[in-house]
């Protein structure tokens, strides 16, 4: 098949899933064309069967806002015509599903549109009256729509007048990359042997509740010798740094900023903290599971579909940092329990969320949509 892919190319779960899926499709012999304003960050090097087409928005003086959406639709249509694309798979509804709809109108109905909903395009933007109707239009006019968890399917139905079938296809990890890695050569640079290492990775948006991460850690380190690593940057970063100072935790907390080699970083840790208020899936929790690192977090959105409470991690009500800290202490203080959770996570990641399995589900959907 000849497949176009559009996603947000910067750091973020939807961009990661889109890029990894494109690479898997290319490995399976399909021609893959990424169309975006930047090279997706997980692409970076040469892959057979993978092409990248850049979109540049015109910055002409009359435009208060450069018309990126139109430039993207135009580029999608160009690429679709020149490379005879069978379909464009867009990740994140806004504006990508609408741009693909426009491109289809320009090219003709033989170009099919698959839209994958990732979370905040529904749970945050879907509540915005300036976007709600057009998101609904984009969903209803896609040839197929997928969402990354049952919870997101449910929320999409609740928020929108959707008359389309919504197919749940879970996110995935590549076990060739995400597996328990031996990082003993660098662990001593982050924590002493007797100390536990806690980790949080996110884009520091308000929904990630990064200050709850600090609150949880503050309680945990009173019971268990521990350090905390925070990876990522975003709007809540300064407030989080400030809180670390106020609680006098500077010597125990490390902010590493944006990082790419996530599997090695996760393998350094004993526990992932993810106390989000919204989380359609929680890709980082799956990546952690695959590396044998349990998650303690909230039961928001689709997280309970990824982290099995009492088997691969512990989940509590959003904001209940007391419960999360107690769960973390319990897990970190009981080596037998910890080992069981860690092994369960590796097994479940391979059985339920393997890249091969999920890529097959997308491939089946593509074939269905284009009728091949």
Contacts with ligand GMT by CB under 6 A lie at 12-15, 17, 92, 118-120, 148, 171, 203, 205, 207, 278-283
Distance CA 268, CA 266 (A): 5
Q: How far is the CB of 143 from ligand GMT (least distance, A)?
A: 20
Q: Which residues of 36-71 are buried (b: 16+ CB within 10 A; e: fewer)?
A: bbeebebbeeeeebbbbbebeeeeeeeeeeeeebeb
Q: How far is the CB of 267 from ligand GMT (least distance, A)?
A: 20
Counting every residue, how long is the chain?
372
Q: How far is the CB of 39 from ligand GMT (least distance, A)?
A: 17
Integer CA distances (angstroms), 206 to 19, 163, 182, 259, in order: 25, 31, 33, 20
C-beta of 119 vs 345, nearer to ligand GMT = 119
C-beta of 92 vs 160, nearer to ligand GMT = 92
Is the Cβ–Cβ distance between 50 and 26 less than 8 Å?
Answer: yes
C-beta of 270 vs 279, nearer to ligand GMT = 279
Q: How far is the CB of 96 from ligand GMT (least distance, A)?
A: 11
Angle subtended at Cα 42 by Cα 107 and Cα 6, rounded to the nearest 5 degrees: 15
Closest CA to 157 of 116, 122, 115, 207: 122
Q: How far is the CB of 240 from ligand GMT (least distance, A)?
A: 15
C-beta of 216 vs 358, nearer to ligand GMT = 358
Q: How far is the CB of 136 from ligand GMT (least distance, A)?
A: 19
| DSSP-derived secondary structure letter, 208 | G
C-beta of 148 vs 224, nearer to ligand GMT = 148
Distance CA 120, CA 40 (A): 19
Q: Tokens 């393998």 map to which residue?
A: 267
C-beta of 10 vs 58, nearer to ligand GMT = 10
Q: How far is the CB of 29 from ligand GMT (least distance, A)?
A: 25
Give Cα 180 distance to the centre of its chain.
20
C-beta of 120 vs 267, nearer to ligand GMT = 120
Angle in degrees, 0-180, between the axes of helices 13-27 and 355-370, rounded to the nearest 10: 80
Find out whether the peptide bond into 95 is cis, omega within 30 degrees of 0.
Answer: yes
């Amino acid at each position: 098949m000849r497949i176009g892919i559009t996603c947000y190319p910067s750091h973020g779960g939807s961009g990661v899933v889109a890029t990894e899926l494109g690479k898997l499709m290319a490995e399976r012999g399909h021609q893959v064309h990424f169309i975006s304003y930047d090279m997706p960050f997980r692409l970076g090097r040469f892959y057979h069967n993978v092409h990248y087409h850049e979109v540049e928005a015109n910055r002409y003086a009359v435009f208060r806002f450069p018309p990126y959406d139109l430039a993207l639709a135009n580029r999608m249509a160009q690429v679709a015509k020149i490379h005879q694309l069978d379909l464009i798979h867009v990740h994140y509804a806004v504006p990508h599903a609408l741009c693909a709809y426009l491109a289809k109108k320009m090219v003709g109905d033989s170009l099919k549109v698959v839209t994958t909903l990732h979370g905040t395009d529904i749970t945050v933007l879907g509540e915005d009256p300036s976007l709600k109707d057009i998101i609904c239009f984009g969903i209803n006019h896609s040839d197929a729509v997928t969402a990354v968890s049952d919870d997101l399917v449910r929320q999409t139905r609740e928020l929108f007048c959707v008359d389309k079938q919504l197919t749940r296809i879970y996110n995935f990890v590549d076990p060739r990359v995400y597996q328990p890695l031996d990082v003993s050569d660098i662990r001593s640079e982050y924590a002493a042997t007797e100390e536990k290492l806690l980790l949080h990775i996110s884009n520091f948006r308000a929904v990630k509740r990064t200050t709850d991460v600090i609150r949880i850690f503050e309680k945990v380190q009173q019971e268990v010798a521990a350090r905390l690593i925070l990876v990522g940057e975003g709007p809540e970063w300064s407030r989080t740094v400030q809180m670390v100072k106020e609680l006098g935790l500077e010597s125990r907390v490390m902010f590493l900023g944006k990082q790419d080699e996530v599997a090695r970083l996760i393998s350094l840790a004993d526990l992932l903290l993810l106390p989000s208020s919204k989380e359609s899936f929680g890709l980082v929790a799956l990546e952690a599971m695959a590396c044998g690192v349990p998650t303690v977090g909230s039961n928001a959105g689709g997280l309970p579909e990824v982290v099995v409470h009492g088997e691969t991690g512990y989940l509590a009500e959003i904001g209940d940092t007391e419960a999360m800290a107690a769960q973390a202490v319990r897990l970190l203080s009981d080596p037998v329990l910890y080992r069981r959770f860690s092994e369960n996570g590796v097994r479940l990641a391979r059985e339920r969320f393997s890249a091969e399995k999920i890529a097959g589900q997308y491939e089946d959907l593509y074939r269905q949509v284009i009728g091949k």
